[in-house]
Chains A and B, each alone.
Chain A
């Protein structure tokens, strides 16, 4: 049996794992974090201005040669290694799991930072109250969350403070604040920093959307609009999504959070080490994890508590590879976003390459239960996000309007005129938790270390199409009002089935029979195992998830701190008294 090496072993030190590690080390616990990717130093992204390396070649993302994922449209088909992620052309990190390394997905994220609306936590009740029970599709599991907005609010506020979020409040303690999102859930206070600078062509969007009766507002960004300690204010270079930040403006947890954890002297990190399984004792408790180091040697690390924070997809893979799935709920209720990309050209230069993507403002009117969904065609809306920055040439040029000649003088004219005038809008239509969309282990495909690949069974459905058609109608009206020269939508059913907003698979719930973790993200099956991240979301909504993922990590940390005290549910779990 492996000797204990830490109070808590955390697998994955990304957006959520780092926040948890910081909170627990500051509470006096010793944490060993095992991280698959490198441990990035402060100057590692000084030369990040390289679209080929970081975006087109997905330089810091997991790729299919080392981290294969397979996909099939339905349970009868044979899965293949994600076809959209292999091939000779430019790739896109948006259709792979988040970046690897200390900081994880918080390195290359675009930094949209959202609190979910109150309704998002009560999806079943809200839909039922408005439209009755008959609209719930067969084979779906649309539920209320076992945790409420009110319970998470202090944690959202703490995350915003720690990560340095810039934004305009729309609702403080029930009072509507002009200029913010009028649909926002009540906040206990303002954002720590004012909004970042808007995209160059934001104004035409704001004017058009306002004229049509919508309520545009600056999206909250986990990017500094002003200097804060070591971190500098954003300089709007435009190499943002897919890139680490060269001035530390982006909220990357290796910069925002981990310095504090290291300062306690109680955090140890094993980088370039991949965990392969959780070892469960005969008494049903997690004893240790097994990991393989960069040399290929396998080791075991034991702790009193084990936390999986390796992203929704990898959390599920690890649970299944470890045989932790007694009730069969692991891998179920996989949900993702359909972005329904919508592009256009404006009459004048938009500077599509400059500034953060999140510098585009948002309308939240079409989100949640705003529209009449009583026909059941689709049940939950999405915000519409203006997207007119942070788009480098390879990606921009490849986003071809229909009927563009692919070569010759006509193609050159296109290159000369279109990229510089480009703008976009997108939405985040959440798929429904359906029986037909799920994750399991691929029966044949293995990674280079012999571990089974994750298999995704997922297809776009009528619900996603109906929502997309409706949302694109709104985008089209706004674009026309903006005076766009032409517009073109992406295919309703895109070829990819990973959109970096993966949810479900280890859903939380009060009933151990049909969920994987409880409301504190603690495994129902293995009591000293926690599984954190978007995989815990029982339903998905129209927002980017990381703000909620990090707030949930703090909520879980509070529970761990509380319950390891004398008299708590986890008393005795830690060999060393911590309080």
Chain B
């Protein structure tokens, strides 16, 4: 139970209170500390917050409602919000969610909420750090994945080889490599004719502005 990993000013969708509750849950899914980081230290909550603010907008209400019920259950059971509980008590709540025992959810929805948080925890832990999680490649270090490598040599690709000493690369490193040494990447001599403009002009501006009204919480 370490506070302070949620940067309130950086939250794009979750409220601070929701973010703290979510952070407590993901930290029990992959527990950790500074020496051996888990989902909290890797910034999984930041990953989920950004995803909800963008591509996962569809799941906003499920999170909002789910976190409310989880926090209410913590209050009812222990008299505190989930983020303020001891690890063992948080584990109880996580187990109850997984087993669909948290009150307030329709039958099966609590377990489904667990599945969703679990799936997004995996994504946040093991996707490129560019997405807000997997800070300092903590997830990749944990499982022994060297990251976004340009390639591997024949000498490296042997059964039982230990590549834990290989510097981990991220998309940002690849980006730098592509800028510095574009000849390492595919180039094609192209013969595309000018054509008739395959991509038509953009639609008028007013129809491209997205309305956020339907997302009210």
Binding site for B on A (CB under 8 A): 39, 41-43, 45-47, 49-52, 56-57, 88-90, 197, 199-204, 230-232, 235-239, 245-248, 255, 259, 262-263, 265, 267-273, 293-297, 346, 348-351, 353-355, 392-394, 396-398, 406-409, 411-412, 415-416, 419-420
Contact = CB atoms under 8 A, between A and B. Distances in A.
Nearest to B188: A42
A56 to B, nearest CB: 6
Nearest to A51: B127
Interface residues of B, number: 70
A398 B118 CA distance: 10
Nearest to A65: B58
Given A89-B119, A90-B119, A415-B30, 4 more contacts: A46-B178, A197-B157, A349-B159, A407-B28
Contact of A294 (B116, B185, B199): B199
Interface stretch (B4-12, B76-84, B145-153): B145-153
12 contacts: A56-B127, A88-B59, A200-B158, A230-B189, A263-B191, A295-B201, A349-B159, A351-B158, A354-B157, A392-B126, A392-B145, A393-B143
Nearest to B55: A57
Contact of A415 (B143, B199, B201): B143
B160 A235 contact: no
Main secondary structure, interface of A, reads loop
Nearest to B175: A47
A349 B162 contact: yes
B122 A408 contact: no
A90 B123 contact: yes
B119 A88 contact: yes
A133 to B, nearest CB: 48
Given A236-B151, A412-B38, A295 B160 contact: no
B126 A420 contact: no
B210 interface: no
B50 to A, nearest CB: 11
Given A52-B131, A248-B188, A412 B142 contact: yes
A351 B195 contact: no
B186 A46 contact: yes
A231 B59 contact: no
Contact of A270 (B28, B162, B189, B198): B198
B171 A56 contact: no
B196 A268 contact: yes
B119 A293 contact: no
Interface in B180-212: 184-193, 195-196, 198-201, 203
Contacts of B193: 262, 265, 267-268
A232, A237, A409, A415: residue with the most chain B Cβ atoms closer than 10 Å:
A415
B186 A351 contact: no
Contact of B126 (A232, A235, A270, A393): A393
Interface in B97-143: 98, 115-116, 118-120, 122-123, 126-128, 130-131, 139-140, 142-143
Nearest to B112: A88
A52 B119 CA distance: 12
Given A354-B152, A419-B145, A398 B122 contact: yes
B16 interface: no
Contacts of B115: 88-89
Contacts of B119: 88-90, 398
Nearest to A394: B126
Closest 7 pairs between A and B when the two form their complex, measured CB to CB:
A235-B151, A89-B119, A49-B148, A248-B186, A42-B188, A348-B160, A52-B127
Given A203-B159, A349-B160, A407-B94, A247 B198 contact: no
B149 A238 contact: yes
Given A272-B199, A393-B139, A393-B145, A262 B123 contact: no
Given A89-B116, A407-B29, A351 B171 contact: no
Interface in B15-30: 28-30
A242 B78 CA distance: 47
Nearest to B130: A50
A163 to B, nearest CB: 15
A394 B152 contact: no
Contacts of B163: 349, 351
Given A262-B193, A295-B203, A407 B118 contact: yes
A52 B156 CA distance: 25
Contacts of A239: 148
A415 B142 contact: yes
Contacts of B38: 412
Contact of A259 (B55, B148, B149, B188): B188
Contact of A351 (B131, B151, B161): B161
Contact of B154 (A42, A197, A396, A406): A197
Contacts of A41: 188, 190
A201 B30 CA distance: 29
Nearest to A200: B157
A261 B195 CA distance: 14
Contacts of B162: 349
B85 to A, nearest CB: 15
Given A397-B122, A411-B30, A201 B159 contact: yes
Contacts of A231: 186
Interface string B42-57: 0000000000000110
A56 B200 contact: no
Contacts of B28: 407-408
B159 A230 contact: no
A50 B203 CA distance: 30
Nearest to A270: B198
Contact of B191 (A259, A272, A394, A419): A259
B186 A259 contact: no
Given A200-B157, A236-B157, A237-B150, A49 B171 contact: yes
B190 A259 contact: yes
A343 to B, nearest CB: 15
Contact of A39 (B116, B144, B198): B198
A193 to B, nearest CB: 16
Contacts of B159: 200-204, 346, 348-351
A525 B118 CA distance: 52
Contacts of B156: 200, 351, 354
B65 to A, nearest CB: 14
A51 B128 CA distance: 8
A395 to B, nearest CB: 9
B193 to A, nearest CB: 6
A420 B162 CA distance: 10
A409 B88 CA distance: 12
Nearest to A295: B200
Contacts of A296: 203
A47, A52, A346: residue with the most chain B Cβ atoms closer than 10 Å:
A52
Contacts of A57: 55
B163 to A, nearest CB: 7
Contact of A268 (B120, B160, B187, B195): B195
A153 B156 CA distance: 38
